[in-house]
């Protein structure tokens, strides 16, 4: 079952965040991730959206998502994001494909 990561990121230090971005894709691609959207100016539909960047990515399953998030390679670059931004992120399970009767 596909798993999505939705992240709201409030960047406080663009230079430090750039260090995170520089190492992100090579690590991300090793874990079968697919970048679906990155938006620094999303259009709020309801409520308040305080993020300076919104990210939507997918993984083929929960195991791949968690392997990426907890990998030593990702943690090595994530320290730059932690230093540069405040992040709220969730994993969301996709719907099972439904077949017609």
In this prediction, residue 50 carries a pLDDT of 87
In this prediction, residue 96 carries a pLDDT of 67
Q: How many domains does the chain have?
A: 1
Is 70 domain-assigned? yes
Is 6 domain-assigned? yes
Nearest one of 52, 60, 55 to 89, comparing CA atoms: 55
Q: What angle do CA 76, 82, 84 make, to 5 degrees?
A: 115
Q: What's the CA gap between 22 and 38, in Å, rounded? A: 15
Write out the two tokens for 46.
Answer: 């309801």
The series of mean pLDDT values per 10 residues for the chain, 101 residues long, is 96 97 94 95 89 95 96 97 97 71 48
Is 27 domain-assigned? no
Q: Which domain holds residue 6?
A: 1-10+66-86
């Amino acid at each position: 079952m596909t798993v999505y990561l939705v992240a709201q990121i409030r960047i406080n230090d663009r230079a430090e965040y750039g260090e995170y971005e520089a190492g992100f894709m090579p690590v991300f691609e090793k874990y079968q991730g697919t970048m679906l959207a990155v938006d620094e100016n999303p259009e709020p539909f309801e409520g308040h959206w305080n993020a300076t960047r919104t990210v939507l990515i997918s993984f083929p399953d929960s195991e791949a998502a968690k392997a990426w998030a907890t990998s030593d390679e990702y943690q090595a670059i994530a320290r730059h994001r932690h230093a540069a931004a405040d992040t709220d992120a969730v994993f969301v399970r996709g719907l099972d494909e439904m077949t017609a009767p």
